[in-house]
């Protein structure tokens, strides 16, 4: 069962857009992103290379609460590979855990607690400083290999009870993986 499905009873609707850099071994790819998590647990994430633009480069990933997913490019839709679906479930599940941790951090910061263990299947921990989340770490499975992920968060959007970092940096095994600058956020 996916992390997102484990959280399905408490899914907080979230949507954000911004600019990101995807790092691979050979290059850095600048993309524009628009993502949302619906109350049902359904995820719709759209991205495109910033240099090409949305009209020519749109890629849409849809993750269903049932644990299936599709990828759309150039008007063609196909089933997403199971490994990709599992990895994305973990990533979007992380954003739900972040909502819980942000509230715990605000409460625990006043009591001097600076490490929040979420007790989830990915072993996610959040670090707090003065009542705000600053970083996190967990492990994801990539094609059967566990990979340590580190997250760094700076600045915060707040909409109602929802929080999202203005800047999110993700490292995998210490190497740059994904950097996101959020320009718009909604928590409903």
pLDDT tens for each residue of 75-115: 899 999 998 998 899 899 999 999 999 988 887 755 666 88
The proportion of the chain whose per-residue pLDDT surpasses 90, expressed as a percent, equals 73
Residue 184 host element (H or E): strand 175-186
Give me the DSSP letters along the chain.
Answer: --HHHHTGGGPPPEEEEEEEEEE-SS-EEEEEEEEEE-TTS-EEEEEEETTT-HHHH-EEEEE-TTS-EEEEETTEEEEPPHHHHHHHHHHHHHHHHHHHHHHHHHHHHTTT--EEE---TT--EEEEETTEEEEEEEEEEETTEEEEEEEEEEEEEEETTEEEEEEEEEEETTEEEEEEEEEEEE--
pLDDT at position 129 is 87
Q: CATH for 3-186? A: 2.50.20.10
pLDDT at position 188 is 77
**pLDDT 10s per residue in the chain (188 long)?**
455 444 545 789 999 999 999 998 889 999 999 999 999 999 999 999 999 999 999 999 999 999 999 999 998 999 999 989 988 998 999 999 999 999 888 877 556 668 899 999 899 999 998 888 999 999 987 777 889 999 999 999 999 999 999 999 999 999 999 999 999 999 97
How much is the pTM?
Answer: 0.90
Token pair, residue 96, equals 């739900």
pLDDT at position 8 is 45
pLDDT at position 1 is 41
Residue whose tokens read 């600053």: 134
pLDDT at position 140 is 86
């Amino acid at each position: 069962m996916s992390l997102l499905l484990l959280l399905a009873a408490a899914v907080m609707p979230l949507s954000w857009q911004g600019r990101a850099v995807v790092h691979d071994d050979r290059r850095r790819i600048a993309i524009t992103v628009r993502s949302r998590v619906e109350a049902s647990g359904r995820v719709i994430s759209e991205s495109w290379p910033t240099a090409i633009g949305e009209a020519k480069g749109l890629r849409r990933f849809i993750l269903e609460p049932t644990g299936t997913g599709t990828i759309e490019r150039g008007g063609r839709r196909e089933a997403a590979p199971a490994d990709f679906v599992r990895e994305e479930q973990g990533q979007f599940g992380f954003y739900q855990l972040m909502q819980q941790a942000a509230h715990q951090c605000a409460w625990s910061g006043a009591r001097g607690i600076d490490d929040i263990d979420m007790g989830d299947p990915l072993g996610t921990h959040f670090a707090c400083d003065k009542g705000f989340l600053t970083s996190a770490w967990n492990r994801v499975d990539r094609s059967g290999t566990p990979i340590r992920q580190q997250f760094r968060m700076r600045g915060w959007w707040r909409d109602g009870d929802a929080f999202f970092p203005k800047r999110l940096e993700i490292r995998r095994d210490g190497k740059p993986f994904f950097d996101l600058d959020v320009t718009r956020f909604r928590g409903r």
